[in-house]
């Protein structure tokens, strides 16, 4: 492996997680779900897949494109969780993908030296690295929730799997 500094590696790994792990997992989770499945909630205190998709799009846009990239912050977080407007899941996923791809392009072009720069996003003082890490962790958290809901809605034969357990068990760490 060629020499690469840690800040550059962090940015590359962040983009890889979004493009090669989280977005494909969301594709797999949403495949075959009905409109009712996308907006299903067992009770009013639980968030639907549709709301989570809107929420992720708003978070990436606010933290990366606005907070780091300088775009105007137009996010209305409360509206992400409202169920009055219930667009199709594929439209929500497409909007999220477009925002994530724009964020990845921004991170691809970001000078790694900026990772230590202070920023203030949503009233929170952090660094560029802290903001990118927050968005990545937040995205992973909600991707897991969306996947769990999708498995529940599809039932026992959900068919959603991201790992080959036999291959992972065979690939033990060498000590």
Closest CA to 121 of 70, 55, 56: 70
- Cβ neighbour number for residue 106 with a 10 Å cutoff: 18
Helices and strands (DSSP H and E) totals, the chain: 8, 2
Domains of the chain: 6-170 (1.20.120.450)
Q: Which two tokens stand for residue 12?
A: 């590359």
Report the alpha-carbon distance of residue 111 to residue 10 in Å, rounded: 12
**In which residue ranges of the chain is pLDDT below 50?**
none
**Sign (positive or negative) of CA dihedral 124, 125, 130, 131:** positive
What confidence score (pLDDT) does residue 2 get? 67
Q: What is the mean pLDDT of the chain?
A: 95
Would you call 149 exposed, middle or buried from its count of C-beta atoms within 10 A (0-12, 13-18, 19+)? Answer: buried
The pLDDT of residue 80 is 86
């Amino acid at each position: 492996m060629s020499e690469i500094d840690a800040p550059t590696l962090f940015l590359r790994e962040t983009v890889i997680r979004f493009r090669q792990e989280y977005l494909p997992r969301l594709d797999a989770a949403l495949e075959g779900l009905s409109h009712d499945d996308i907006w299903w909630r067992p009770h009013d205190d639980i968030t639907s897949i549709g709301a989570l998709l809107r929420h992720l799009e708003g978070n990436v846009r606010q933290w990366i494109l606005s907070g780091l990239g300088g775009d105007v912050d137009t996010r209305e977080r409360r509206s992400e969780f409202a169920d009055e407007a219930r667009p199709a899941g594929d439209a929500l996923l497409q909007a999220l993908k477009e925002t994530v791809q724009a964020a990845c392009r921004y991170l691809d072009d970001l000078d790694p030296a900026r990772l230590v720069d202070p920023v203030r996003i949503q009233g929170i003082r952090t660094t560029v690295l802290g903001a990118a890490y927050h968005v990545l962790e937040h995205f992973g958290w909600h991707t897991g929730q969306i996947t769990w809901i999708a498995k529940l809605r599809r039932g026992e034969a959900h068919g959603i799997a991201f790992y080959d357990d036999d291959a992972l068990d065979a690939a033990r760490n060498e000590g």
